[in-house]
């Protein structure tokens, strides 16, 4: 197939593009600039690059037609953030492309009632990002289920992890000092009893699920799927496991959330609240049953790989020992 990927050089695209090239597809990468992909791979040498400023072209009403003009059999959209942007793309691709795979977020769910939550759980999103992504999901699923609509499959990743960038910590932040604290055996504050949850996924497992949607369109189109690891992590268990990677026992102190939030650097307080207040734990049964989705990385394995990359890149300082996982 000819597959166009919007936002191709980011975290997920770094794994998805080589997978699709290896499968023999003709891949076109749409990016805002000429920056190198997060993951280098010889496959990029056979990928066509198209430079486009989506925000500016959406405002001008030209982005959808630009994508449609590339003659794709399928389009993978990794960077759509508003219903208006999604509508413009769907209108342009209707009757021209065979499939759109849209990448959303588990934050479309908001606060959960039963866990692990399936994709069809009642959604009450909060926060602009989750609200916008949930509106995009409703719009695109309705589009896909129309008799003359554009076929759409939706992939909702959890907290994307893997080498190349900071990841969500046991405090619900991306503060690198959390790893230094655990590696050094210092006290780490956690909210409540530390039983709130975070649900990670390796970027390559997100790529796996997107690829499955492309390979099995009859099962995927008109549906949404969670892209997460097999199991979520409690903050307490996460911190205890991470400390053991460095040969330490975690020194944890549990405090009310107000005290916990006040203890954090100001730039990390909102992220902690956003993650801890949601405490997502998602089911992957639907993706497993319909598409054969089988994440290759546990939450802990994905994070351990990320932390070791940070250490090797010199992001954690000179005195942090190698991560010992598994």
Average confidence score pLDDT of the chain: 97
Residues 130 and 178 in one domain: no
Residues 148 and 271 in one domain: no
Residues 186 and 98 in one domain: no
Residues 110 and 215 in one domain: yes
pLDDT tens digits for range 311-323: 999 999 999 999 9
Residues 15 and 86 in one domain: yes
Burial status of residue 36 (CB atoms within 10 A of its CB: 0-12, 13-18, 19 or more): exposed
* 216: number of Cβ within 10 Å: 14
Is 240 a member of any domain?
yes
* 46: number of Cβ within 10 Å: 10
Among candidate residues 278, 232, 318, the one with its CA nearest the CA of residue 111: 278
| pLDDT of 310 strictly over 80 | yes
The strand pairing partners of 200, in sequence order, are 159
Is 284 a member of any domain?
no
pLDDT tens digits for range 42-68: 999 999 999 999 999 999 999 999 999
Q: At 82, which CATH number?
A: 3.40.50.720
Residues 126 and 219 in one domain: yes
Residues 132 and 21 in one domain: yes
| pLDDT of 163 strictly over 90 | yes
Kindly indicate the confidence band of residue 258, based on its pLDDT and cuts at 50, 70 and 90: very high
**HSE-CB of 59 using CA atoms within 13 angstroms:** 4
pLDDT tens digits for range 9-20: 999 999 999 999
Domain that holds residue 306: 162-198+230-279+297-312
Cβ proximity of 93 and 150 under 8 Å? yes
Is 76 a member of any domain?
yes
Among candidate residues 168, 192, 193, 169, the one with its CA nearest the CA of residue 181: 169
CA distances from 314 to 122, 170, 182, 213, 247 (A): 43, 21, 17, 37, 20
Is 263 a member of any domain?
yes
CA distances from 131 to 105, 136, 280 (A): 10, 9, 16
Is 324 a member of any domain?
no
Residues 111 and 216 in one domain: yes
Residues 167 and 306 in one domain: yes
Rounded to an integer, what distance in angstroms lies between the CA atom of residue 95 and that of residue 98? Answer: 8
Residues 141 and 251 in one domain: no
* 65: number of Cβ within 10 Å: 14
210 contact partners, CB below 8 Å, separation of at least 6: 12, 16, 76, 101, 103, 155, 227
CA distances from 50 to 74, 206, 210 (A): 16, 23, 21
- Name the pTM for this structure: 0.97
Domain boundary among 189, 209, 227: 227
318 contact partners, CB below 8 Å, separation of at least 6: none
Kindly indicate the confidence band of residue 260, based on its pLDDT and cuts at 50, 70 and 90: very high
Cβ proximity of 35 and 7 under 8 Å? no
Per residue, the 3-state secondary structure of the chain, as one string, reads CEEEEECCCCCCHHHHHHHHHHCCCEEEEEECCCCCCCCCCHHHHHCEEEECCHHHHHHHCCHHHHHHCCCCCEEEECCCCCHHHHHHHHHHHCCCCCEEEEECCHHHHECCCCCCECCCCCCECCCHHHHHHHHHHHHHHHHHHCCCCCCEEEEEECEEECCCCCCCCCCCCCCCHHHHHHHCCCEEEEECCCCCEECEEEHHHHHHHHHHHHHCHHHHCCCEEEECCCCCEEHHHHHHHHHHHCCCCCEEEEECHHHHHHHCCHHHHHHHHHHHHHCCCECCHHHHHHHCCCCCCCHHHHHHHHHHHHHHCCCCCCCCCCCCCC
Residues 84 and 169 in one domain: no
Is 112 a member of any domain?
yes
Is 70 a member of any domain?
yes
Q: At 253, which CATH number?
A: 3.90.25
- What is the number of structural domains in the chain? 2
Residue 165's pLDDT is what?
85
Longest Cα–Cα distance in the chain: 61
Residue 33's pLDDT is what?
83
Is 326 a member of any domain?
no
Residues 49 and 75 in one domain: yes
Kindly indicate the confidence band of residue 38, based on its pLDDT and cuts at 50, 70 and 90: confident
């Amino acid at each position: 197939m000819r597959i166009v990927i919007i936002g191709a050089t980011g975290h997920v695209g770094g794994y998805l593009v080589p997978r699709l090239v290896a499968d023999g597809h003709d891949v076109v990468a749409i990016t805002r600039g000429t920056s190198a992909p997060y993951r280098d791979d010889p496959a990029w040498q056979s990928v066509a690059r198209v430079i486009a400023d989506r925000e500016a072209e959406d405002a001008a009403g030209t982005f959808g037609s630009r994508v449609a003009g590339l003659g794709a059999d399928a389009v993978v959209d990794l960077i759509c953030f508003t219903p208006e942007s999604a509508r413009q793309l769907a209108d342009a691709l209707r009757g021209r492309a065979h499939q759109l795979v849209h990448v959303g977020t588990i934050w479309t769910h908001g606060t959960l009632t039963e866990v692990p939550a399936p994709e069809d759980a009642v959604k009450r999103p909060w926060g602009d990002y989750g609200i916008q992504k949930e509106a995009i999901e409703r719009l695109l699923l309705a589009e896909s289920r129309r008799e003359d609509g554009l076929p759409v499959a939706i992939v909702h990743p959890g907290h994307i992890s893997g080498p190349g960038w900071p990841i969500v910590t046991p405090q619900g932040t991306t503060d690198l000092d959390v790893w230094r604290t655990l590696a050094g055996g210092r006290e780490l504050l956690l909210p409540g009893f530390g039983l709130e949850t975070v649900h990670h996924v390796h970027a390559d497992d997100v790529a796996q699920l997107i690829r499955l949607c492309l390979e099995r369109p009859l099962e995927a189109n008109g549906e949404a799927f969670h892209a997460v690891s097999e199991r979520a992590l409690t903050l307490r268990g996460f911190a205890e496991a991470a400390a053991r990677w460095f040969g330490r026992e975690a020194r944890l102190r549990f405090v009310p959330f107000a005290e916990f939030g006040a203890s954090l650097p100001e730039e990390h307080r909102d992220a902690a609240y956003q993650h801890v207040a949601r405490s997502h734990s998602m089911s992957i049964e639907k993706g497993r049953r319909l598409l054969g989705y089988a994440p290759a990385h546990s939450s802990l394995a994905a994070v351990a790989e990320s932390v070791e990359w940070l250490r090797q890149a010199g992001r954690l300082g000179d005195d942090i020992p190698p991560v010992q996982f598994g």
